Chains A and B, each alone.
Chain A
Amino acid sequence: MARWAGAVPSFTPVAVADATNMTDNGHHTIQGGSATQRGELREVYLGGQAGASSPTFMVVGRTSTVGGTLTPGRLAALDPSTAALGAPPVSYAASTTKPQRSSTLGILLNLSFNAFGGVVRWVNGPDEIISYLGNTSSLGELSLNCFTGGTPGLLGSNIIFETL
């Protein structure tokens, strides 16, 4: 169907352990718009903006507790003719109920890099799919967050995904 881009132009990720509340504005998460909505990741881009060496261990994975009462962030359809969805997915970094990284499904993609001048880009292969399903745990969210360790540094993130 349509491709969407969720972006957080500048934030400092906050490292958290598995099954622990994430910190507002310290992660970037995509949540499905309805109980049956399915979406697939197409691309994840991280651009380091830190002013000093910052080994930053970013991972993309599922959450065992999904965010509740979300504060929607930037989300835009890539194609200007994309029809508005009745229940659009949500790209967010702040919520009342905080998401928690799953201890078993929390690392689907490892995007570790140094946020001092580093750049990471991942693009999915045609049959190599990471998807979300619905909007409840454990499959309803895909979260870009920081694994414990290192020195997380300022970065910007852009996630391109496709709702099906």
Chain B
Amino acid sequence: MKNLNSHTGYLQIDHSNSPGIRAEDIPVRLRGITPIVGEGEVKEFDTKNCTHCESNIVLNPLRTRNREICPHCHHYICDRCYQILKATGQCIPFKKIVDKLFDSVVKGEPLIIIP
């Protein structure tokens, strides 16, 4: 039976013949979202994407707090989009933006995309 953990994406980082990446090499803004794969290591990760902004998230198997789910579109969303959802109460999945764009085309309205 399909659940939210089904059908993940796949990320492989192969440093089997490489010095790899050390934690101290990682720029500050990418810390916490960059998988650390050291010298001689090959790692594979499941990825999910946020249905609101389409960011891809490498699932951290050690995460203990809840992974946020949008109650409206019933899909994982990233922590940033969850904060927006909490503040505005609006679920705006990317597919909705696509629908609006094609509606605009059919109606001959100007194309204004504000993600």
Contacts and interface: CB of A to CB of B under 8 A. Distances in A.
A53 B19 contact: yes
B99 to A, nearest CB: 11
A57 B97 CA distance: 30
B101 A123 contact: no
Interface string B1-27: 000000111111111011111100111
A73 interface: no
Q: Is the interface of A mostly helix, strand, loop or mixed?
A: loop
Nearest to A50: B18
Nearest to A127: B7
Nearest to A133: B98
Contacts of A150: 25, 27
Nearest to B4: A127
B30 A110 contact: yes
Given A55-B21, A128-B47, A133-B101, A117 B12 contact: no
Interface of A: 35-36, 38, 48, 53, 55, 57, 62, 104-105, 107-114, 116-131, 133-134, 136-139, 147-150
27 contacts: A35-B105, A48-B18, A53-B19, A105-B53, A110-B33, A110-B58, A113-B15, A113-B18, A116-B18, A117-B15, A118-B13, A120-B12, A122-B9, A122-B47, A123-B9, A123-B10, A123-B11, A124-B9, A125-B9, A125-B49, A126-B7, A128-B47, A129-B94, A138-B113, A138-B115, A139-B113, A149-B26
